[in-house]
Every structure is written in structure tokens, then in C-alpha cells.
Structure 1
């Protein structure tokens, strides 16, 4: 079966959804599905060469996600619509990933009447948290939803969510659509390579941490990730725990790092917080293997791919109850979770740093077991593959026939 993934960008700086699309595309080969990807990325981006899946990049330099001009960030100017009209019928099913960009508009203009069955994977983009912080954007997206997203969602064979929490938050945001929804899960692959070499690769970046304990934040520096909560909460524990540092590693898409650094300096943490850009490859795995715990104080996540990656590397995770994996993490003893505010983040930091070494050792074993039991990628791939096969056959999870579209290919 041939699957076409439609996504605004596969730039790795966009985080978990991108990582998930690529890893799932590779993993589903064992189930007889071959995947290709079409994006709004410029074709000359260097990281496209490392993607192990056939990819068609239809954007231009300064296109989606890389320009200050809003219409260019949206992706206008690409050739996606004519490309889809010419190539859709070579595929048995399409997946539209995410919302609120021109790739979705192009899908709406071409998929609905093509006769090619499709699903939409929301990737957390129906969560009301961020929209409520920006009323103007909320109003603009309500208009976009009426004109673009809702017609696309209404005619989909299914709208996919990674977790029940993500689906519930989308419903709370009152985004109404006619298609059935379906939870397919998510996951990540087993980390490969030499653990010792990975630890050394990270150690070369910050040699001072070779002999010190540290907590690790790994992700975009964005308000939705709660980086400000982490700085404030770490300040509360740092004075009593002089042997622990904090590493904040990730891209800075909204230019927030300078403000966070100023706040850290005002709190007397300039020497205790280490700021890195985006980590990849051995350095990223080395950070996860070396840290005492990975911290993700998010206000919202569709899944929390970095949590699964940390569990795979046997790192305990300290998260908020807005990260959908928190119940599994708590039940398995793989980490700690609390509310998404300064007090909640402080409580998990204090509880973890106060724990005796033997308990932290048990957490590491539990983290690894949690990954293998719940989030190893083949587990979710089976469910996702079933959803794609059902879409291609024209059945929803409920067993009801999906909307019938006349084939125009």
C-alpha cells in the first residue's frame, strides 16, 4: 500500500511531530506500506539529505517557517496544489499532518474531490491553550477553520490523535467536525549506537558537567514548553543543592532565549544553567544518557516525543500533567508529574533531588521498562497501520462506512 504524507515542514527544529512522521514512515515498511512525503520546505535545505524516506520539497528559500513575512511563513507561493493534482492518484491513502499552514490549504483544495481516501493527524494543533493566549490569532484561526480546516476534517476518513488527552483537549476547544476520531498512539525507535561514545560526544560540549549532576530540558524554547517555569523552579532548589546544574537545549524559534537568560542571571543562575542550541545524533543521546533526569514542564503536548526518547535511554522524566504520558510515567514509577505552574515544577524537582540514590536507580530501570512496554515504535505502528488500512478500505474505527467520494483520478 502506498501512503502519501502531507506536511508543512520536516525541519527537525519543529520537534516531535516531524520526528514521528519520519520514524513511522520507516517503521511501517515492515507491514507492507511504502511512504513518501511532500512538504513546503525549500529543496536545497541540507537536512533533507538525511531523511530516509522519499521526499518532495516544493517550497522556495525563505518559505514556510523561515521568513518574517506571515504569508511566506504560511507557505504561499509553493507549487503544492498542482503537484498534488498530478500525483495524488499514485497513492492509496494520504495523511495530512497538522493544521494552520498552506499544506493544509493545498490538501483541502485537492483531496476532497479527488476520491483518494485520507486522514488528518492533528498533532496537538487543536489544543486551545496557545490560542487562548493570543485572542487575535484565535479569531484568525476560527475564520481559517471555517473556510479550510473544517471542510477538510469533515470529509476525512478519520481524524487521528496520539493520545486520549489530546483528543479531549481538542473537544474542549470546541473544534467541531463530522469525521470520526481515532487514537493511534505514538512512539519512538530503540536508540542505537555506542552509549559510551554518545556520552563522550555530549561531554565534549560541556566538559564541566562530566563530574556534576544535571537536569536536562530538551525541546523548543517556546512559551508552550514552560521554560520560564523551569528557570523559576530551579532557582528555588539551586541554593540548597549546589551540586546540580540545569541544561536547556533546543532551538529558539520565537527569540525567547535572551529573555530567559536575563531572568536566570537575575536569579543568580548564570553559572548554573547551560544553554545549548538544538542537539542531534550522538550528542542528543549522550545528553539523555548522562542526565539525572529529563524535565519537560509543558502546558500542552500532543504526545511528548522527547519523553519517550528519554524513557528509551533509561532517563527518569519530570513532567507536568499536561504531557499526556504522565499517567503511564507515574503508574510505572518512571518519573514524577505535577501541575504546569511554578509550584508544580518546583515540587517535582524537589522530590526528585531529595530521593535516595537507590530510588533513582529504580526509576531508571522503570523508565526503560515503560518505554519497551508502551512506547517502542512498533507498538504504535501497528495501530497506525490499521487506521490507514481502514481508511483505504473505507471503514472507520466504529465499523460504519466512511464518506464515499467519487474517484476522479
Structure 2
């Protein structure tokens, strides 16, 4: 098959969706499929040079919405070259451009929602939610309604998506997301990371790796870490990831006030061997996120044999808890502290068993091959899709009551 992925950007700082396209695309290319990508990046953006597929760029975008008048005409002119178009994400112009160009073209398009219909956003940003309602009926609603399939990565994500907008109609399917972990010797990766980030040698590293953003609960993690730090002087917190909003300065001040500034490292975004070295050098991975569709870093941590302490707002929490590959608690300081304490109280044998289970959970549930197999099966089934599903009336009433 010849497949086009459509994203707002392939900037690695955008997080999981970009990495998912990279990893799944490589696996599908290895299986004999042709992969191309279209984005609203500017042609000269540096990260394009290292992206592994042909990228058609239509930026720079004229606004945060990503509007570009050249994108929809290009899609219409080139649609017949592709067997399928996969749209990643909502709320930016590339999805609406796909609808304009493709919904009567005969070329099926699919939409990965990537958690962007989670009701947490409505609760956390009510003014933005009201703004979204202004263009939901004529834009995103149509994008989802006319897609061949709207793809969710977990049942948890699909169920929660129905709670955001009462006007909703889509043909849905769950395709588990996946991650790829390179088969490399962990020892040299660990050593390279320890040399790159001073002061970590001999420490028991508590690792957060992802976007440094308020949604991720990094502030909860700092306060929870401060509460348990006295239990082991060797504990050290690493919060690694891109900081596009400048929140890192606030987090440093918070750590200073909590008395753990000397036990916190913020090395910025880690890529390639340094990222894998961070996983292999750490003792536990923590993600107390307020909203997380899948969490590619969770899967990558598991693939490196690293237990994961996550909140119950990470949509794979049921799988982690059921397997015993980590611990789950509410997205609060108390909840995060509880998980850290439970982990600290494990004896050596129990910790080793949890590390082994982390690897088994990755192999059974989150390998990129699992995702590619399910996605390929979906794309190859180009007949009439399942009947579109409306938001249930009970959910519509509940949503209307919550909004009033």
C-alpha cells in the first residue's frame, strides 16, 4: 500500500504522535509499504532532514490553527496516488483540509484522535472549549463523521471522547498504539547518559520523560518526591523533556521551596541514545499526568524493563495495574506520593519481579509490531466501514447538564 500521514508538524518536540508515525512508518516500510508525510512545517526546518520519509511541507502556517491555502488543493490533486490517508490529531487545519479534499474523492481517510477529545480539556480550559464549539459543527464534527474510520488507541480513550461534545458521529475502531525499543546493550547507553548529565552516578533515579507541561503533572511529582526524599539520600529526580512554555523555571523554584533543588535535574529534551540511556540508568519511571491518551514514553520505559508509576488519567492504566508492571494512583500529590512509597517499600526480589513484568507487558501489549498488524488490517479492509456511531443520548444529556 501507499500511505500518506498528515500531521501539523513532525517536530519531535510535539511528542507521541510524531514518534508514533516515525516508528510505525519504519515498521510498515520494512513490511513493503510506501510511506509519505505531509505537514505544515516550513521547508527549512532543521528536524525535517532526519525524518525517515519523504515530507511534503506547506508551511510556515499563518496562525496557530495552521491554516495554509495550498494544502487542500495539493491533497485533492495527489489523492489518487495513495491507498489511504491518515490524519493525526484534531483542532488544526490539516484535518479540515483532508475533509475538504477527500470526503468525496473515493480515497479513504482515517483519523487518529490522539486523546484530543478527552473531557479533561473541557474542564481544564473551559474558555478554549467554548471557542472550539464555534467551529466544531462545521469543521471537526464533519472531519470525524466522514472519515472511513476514527481510530482510538484504547477503549478508555474512546469512551471518554464521547463526553466532550454532544454533537458527535463517527465510525470507530480501536487500534492499540505501540512503541519500538532498539535492541541495544543497555550498559554503554547508561554510561553515556551518566556522563552527559552530571551528578547522577550512584543515584537511584526517579525519571519523568516527556513534554514539560502542566498537563503532565510535573509539579505534583516534585512535591511528592520532596515528601519521600528523606527515606533514601540516594534518590534523585530527573525531569527530562522539551519545555516550550518556560515552565522549568517555575519547577526549579518549586523544588527550591520544597528543599530538593539539589536533587532535581532538568536536562532538557533527550533524543536517540541519550533517551534510551536515561531509561536504562533509571530505577523507576513516573508519569502523574492529568490526561494522557497512551503515553509512548510509558511503553518505552516498559520496553527497557522499567516499572512505571502512573496516574489513573493515563489511558493504559488498567493494563499496567492488571499486569503488575507498575503502580496506579490518582493524579494528585497524595496519589503520586502513595505510588512512590509503595515502590520504595518493595524488597529487592519484588523490584526485580516488577522489572521483569514490565518487559513482559511491553512484549505482550505495546510492541510496535502489534500496532502495525492491527493498522495494516484496518487499512487493507477498504470495503464499507462499520455503521457510524452517534453519541449515546444519555451521554448527550449528561454533557449538556455539565455544560449548563
Partner in structure 2 of residue 367 of structure 1: 358
| Partner deviation per Cα, 1:273-326 (whole Å, 9 max, x = no partner) | 111110001110000011010111111111111010001111111101111222
For 2:351 and 2:113, the matched residues in 1 are separated by: 35
1:143 to 115, 134, 144: 134
SS in structure 2 of the partner of residue 156 of structure 1:
coil
Q: Which moved more, 1:141-150 or 1:310-319?
A: 141-150
* Offset, 1:349: 0.6
Q: CA contact under 8 A between 2:171 and 2:385: conserved in structure 1? A: no
Structure 1 runs of 4+ with >6 Å offset: none
1:243-262 mapped onto 2 (5 Å cutoff): 243-262=234-253
1:377 to 368, 373, 393: 368
2:276 to 285, 301, 313: 285
Partner in structure 1 of residue 41 of structure 2: 41
TM-score (norm 1): 0.91
1:331-350 mapped onto 2 (5 Å cutoff): 331-350=322-341
Question: Residue 317 and residue 346 in structure 1: after superposition, are their counterparts in 2 closer, same or farther (change >3 A)?
Answer: same
Q: CA contact under 8 A between 1:31 and 1:385: conserved in structure 2? A: no
SS in structure 2 of the partner of residue 99 of structure 1:
coil
Q: CA contact under 8 A between 2:83 and 2:108: conserved in structure 1? A: yes
Partner in structure 1 of residue 14 of structure 2: 14
Q: CA contact under 8 A between 2:68 and 2:93: conserved in structure 1? A: no
Question: Residue 25 and residue 397 in structure 1: after superposition, are their counterparts in 2 closer, same or farther (change >3 A)?
Answer: farther
For 2:54 and 2:386, the matched residues in 1 are separated by: 28
Q: CA contact under 8 A between 1:117 and 1:394: conserved in structure 2? A: no
| Partner deviation per Cα, 1:319-370 (whole Å, 9 max, x = no partner) | 0111122222222221111111111101001111121121111111111111
For 1:179 and 1:157, the matched residues in 2 are separated by: 9
2:383 to 393, 396, 400: 393
1:174-189 mapped onto 2 (5 Å cutoff): 174=165, 176-189=167-180
* Offset, 1:111: 1.6
* Offset, 1:78: 5.6
* Count of aligned positions: 388
* Offset, 1:220: 0.6
For 1:174 and 1:136, the matched residues in 2 are separated by: 14
SS in structure 1 of the partner of residue 64 of structure 2:
helix
1:210-221 mapped onto 2 (5 Å cutoff): 210-221=201-212
1:205 to 189, 196, 200: 196
1:103-118 mapped onto 2 (5 Å cutoff): 103-118=94-109
Question: Residue 205 and residue 341 in structure 1: after superposition, are their counterparts in 2 closer, same or farther (change >3 A)?
Answer: same
Partner in structure 2 of residue 2 of structure 1: 2
* Offset, 1:29: 3.0
Q: CA contact under 8 A between 1:74 and 1:102: conserved in structure 2? A: yes
TM-score (norm 2): 0.92
Q: CA RMSD in A?
A: 1.6
Q: CA contact under 8 A between 1:4 and 1:95: conserved in structure 2? A: yes
Q: Which moved more, 1:160-169 or 1:79-88?
A: 79-88
| Partner deviation per Cα, 1:252-284 (whole Å, 9 max, x = no partner) | 122211111111111111101111110001110
* Offset, 1:137: 0.7
For 1:119 and 1:175, the matched residues in 2 are separated by: 21
1:257-272 mapped onto 2 (5 Å cutoff): 257-272=248-263
SS in structure 1 of the partner of residue 129 of structure 2:
helix
| Partner deviation per Cα, 1:366-403 (whole Å, 9 max, x = no partner) | 1111111111111121111111122x3333389xxxxx
Q: CA contact under 8 A between 1:191 and 1:312: conserved in structure 2? A: no
Q: CA contact under 8 A between 1:217 and 1:249: conserved in structure 2? A: yes
For 2:168 and 2:108, the matched residues in 1 are separated by: 17
For 1:25 and 1:4, the matched residues in 2 are separated by: 10
1:213-252 mapped onto 2 (5 Å cutoff): 213-252=204-243
Partner in structure 2 of residue 24 of structure 1: 24
1:130 to 115, 121, 126: 121
SS in structure 1 of the partner of residue 200 of structure 2:
helix
Question: Residue 191 and residue 31 in structure 1: after superposition, are their counterparts in 2 closer, same or farther (change >3 A)?
Answer: closer
SS in structure 1 of the partner of residue 111 of structure 2:
strand
Q: Indicate yes or no: 2:294 matched with 1:303.
A: yes
Question: Residue 155 and residue 352 in structure 1: after superposition, are their counterparts in 2 closer, same or farther (change >3 A)?
Answer: same
* Offset, 1:113: 2.5
Q: CA contact under 8 A between 2:193 and 2:274: conserved in structure 1? A: yes
